[in-house]
Amino acid sequence: MSYDVKELAVKAGKTIKLTFANPDVMSHNILLVQPGMADDGAAKALAVGAQGFDKQWIPESADIIWASKLLDHSKDQVIEFTAPEKAGDYPYVCSLPGHHVVMRGVLKVK
Ligand SMILES: [Cu+2]
């Protein structure tokens, strides 16, 4: 249970195309959040509680820059986004309960 890519580097403001594929038997997602907000995002996701799977474990939060769908085994999603204009380390995390502890990485914006 982890992302095979734990660090990505991109230039600020560039258009990025990212393919997120899930070869695992469990479902996973990926959320890009503001610097330092990985644990907060995961905590907010946990608070979604019983509605978790309906909401794909994506909480409402201004700190979430984008989120993938909840991907089942062997599914993938192409995510196109504009890299943040502000340089920094932007964490990405899986918001399913408990996953964020090990399922996380960093998008380095330079
Ligand atoms: Cu996960």
Specify if 87 maps to a domain. yes
Q: 95 alpha carbon to ligand 1 midpoint, in Å?
A: 6
Burial class (CB in 10 A: 0-12, 13-18, 19+), 65: middle
Q: How far is the CA of 103 from the centre of ligand 1 (A)?
A: 6
pLDDT attached to residue 54? 93
Our count of domains for the chain comes to 1
- Domain extent, residue 32, equals 7-109
Residue 1 lies in a domain: no
pLDDT tens readout for residues 93-106: 999 999 999 999 99
Task: Tell me the CA–centroid distance for residue 34 and ligand 1, in Å.
Answer: 19
Instruction: Give the whole-number percent of the chain exceeding pLDDT 90.
Output: 99
Residue 2 in domain:
no
Evaluate whether residue 60 is within a structural domain: yes
Report yes or no on 76 lying in a domain. Answer: yes
What is the CATH classification number for the domain harbouring 11? 2.60.40.420
Does residue 56 lie in a domain region?
A: yes
65, part of any domain: yes
Strand segments (E) across the chain? 7-10, 15-21, 31-33, 64-67, 76-82, 88-93, 104-109
39 in any annotated domain:
yes
What's the pLDDT at 44?
A: 94
Confidence (pLDDT) at 61: 94
50-81 tens-digit pLDDT = 999 999 999 999 999 999 999 999 999 999 99
